[in-house]
Each structure stands twice: as C-alpha cells, then as structure tokens.
Amino acid sequence: MKLKLFFLLSLFSFITANAQNYIFGKVVSESGLEIQEVTVINIRTDETVITNSDGHFMISGRAGDELRFIKAGYERFIQRISQENIQSPVNISLVRAVIQIPEVEIKQGITGDLKIDVKNNNRPQKVEKLVKEIDRYIVQKTDPRVLAARPGEFVQPKGQGFSIGKVKNKWDDVDLINYIKISLGEEYFTDLQINKAQIDHFISYVLAGGFERKNILKYGFCSDADLNRFQRFVLTRISSYRAPQTQR
C-alpha cells in the first residue's frame, strides 16, 4: 500500500513539474500603440504564432522558456519567461529600428564676394566653349546622304512593324528575393532556424508555394502589407520546408 501511494505521489509530482502552460501577452510600440502581425517564437518548442489586430498573442510554454519577438521595422526583442509571467499577462514594447539616412552633399551657395562666387559657380572657359560647340552641333540637321545605304549594302524593307509582346515586369523573382532578404534582415530567418546559406532557397520555396506577387513584379514595388503577407505565408510553409525531402 505504501509503495502504491509513493508511486502515485511521484507520478503527480512529475506531471505537475512538466505541465505545459499557456503564456498570454500583448505587444505595443514605444508610444503604446498595439502592433499586429508580430512573429512570436518559443525557442524551446519551436512554436510560432503572430499577434492579432489588438497586439495580443497566446503561446504554449513554461517558466525558463525564451520568447523572441520579430517584426519588420522594429528591433528584435527577447523575453525569458518567469513564473510570474505565467500567472499574469506579459507586456512587450518594441522599439523602432534605426534607419540610416544617406548623406546629402550641400553645395556652397552665393557668398556675396564676387571673386569667390565667380570661382565657385562659373565653369572654366574651355568647358564653356566645348558645351557651346556641342549645342551648335546638336541643332544642326543631318544631311540625308550620310545615312543613305552604300552600293551593295542590305537595306531593311519598311513594313507594318511588329509587336514586341507584353512589356516586361520591372522585377523578377531574384529582385523580390533580394528585397525580402534585405527588408526582413538575416536575423528574421536565422530565428526561424534557417541557415544563412539557405535563406535564398527558403524564400524561393515560399514563393513557389503560391505566394501572390504579380503586381509586385509588375511595378517593382513591395509594400509593408506585402511583407506582412509574406511573413504570414512563411508560417504555412516552414514546417514542410523543415521536413525530409521525401515528405515535401
């Protein structure tokens, strides 16, 4: 009887210690606005969820787990879960990523000093002379005899012309892959356990799964909404990508 009681108590202690809980929380910006479609990853279980329109999320986990929060345009955030986080909601604040602005060259303006202004703003006489000669040459009419065919040369016959077909897209898939990789950053993919050498291949795999990109390629423009749509599509393809080749 004592042995049976000891076994039941041990089993209860084991189940209690290893019970899986759910972690609830909310993600906001520095100004307190809710952020939707933030990718939340439990590093231990590899479970991935995204925040809803109010910034809320729910993910399974336990004390000691590490959660990572990823969103394009924001700094990546890491939160280690404590027992207190399990008993009450977790509040996460993401910080906007710093964007480097290219340097702008400021040319020297008018100083009021005639000698300095003439030196800085007037072109050298040789350059001025060359520009005038080029302008005179451009306005001259070309003698038709210069372009006439020489004896024995083939002359392309004039006709109705031909159609060049559809106008090519401004982007192709390679351009889109490069844009996605730069915009989301390598850390986004390494957090999904995609090696740097496999990032291009993984993005191609996601696109091949039916990601709609006709207008993106046509106009050569990928909006933030398209990036968010791509991240949602990643969640539907990541599991099959990690599966053995025979199961894809």
Q: pLDDT of 117-154, one tens digit each?
A: 656 666 667 667 777 777 777 766 666 565 566 665 55
Q: Which of 16-25, 48-57, 81-90, 182-191 has the lowest mean pLDDT?
A: 16-25
Say what the pLDDT of residue 144 is: 59
Is it the case that residue 107 has pLDDT exceeding 90?
no
β-strand partners of 27: 92
Mean pLDDT estimate for the chain: 79
Indicate the burial class of 56 (C-beta count within 10 angstroms; 0-12, 13-18, 19 or more).
middle
Q: What is the mean pLDDT of residues 164-181?
A: 82
Percentage of residues in the chain having pLDDT higher than 90: 46
Indicate the burial class of 13 (C-beta count within 10 angstroms; 0-12, 13-18, 19 or more).
exposed
Distances (CA, A) of 138 to 142, 145, 185: 9, 18, 49
Q: pLDDT of 69-95, one tens digit each?
A: 999 999 999 999 988 888 889 999 999
Output the CA torsion sign for 183, 215, 34, 62. Answer: negative
Reading the block at residue 244, the tokens are 């053995």
Q: What is the mean pLDDT of residues 228-233?
A: 93
Q: pLDDT of 179-197, one tens digit each?
A: 999 999 989 998 898 998 9
| Residue listed under structure tokens 């207190």 | 84
Say what the pLDDT of residue 111 is: 63
Domains delineated in the chain: 17-93 (2.60.40.1120), 173-247 (no CATH)
Say what the pLDDT of residue 14 is: 47
Output the CA torsion sign for 106, 221, 241, 51. Answer: positive
How many Cβ atoms sit within 10 Å of the Cβ of residue 170? 12
Q: Which range in 90-94, 152-156, 166-170, 241-245 is most confidently predicted, on average pLDDT?
A: 90-94
Q: Is 140 left (phi over 0), alpha (psi -120 to 50) or beta?
A: beta
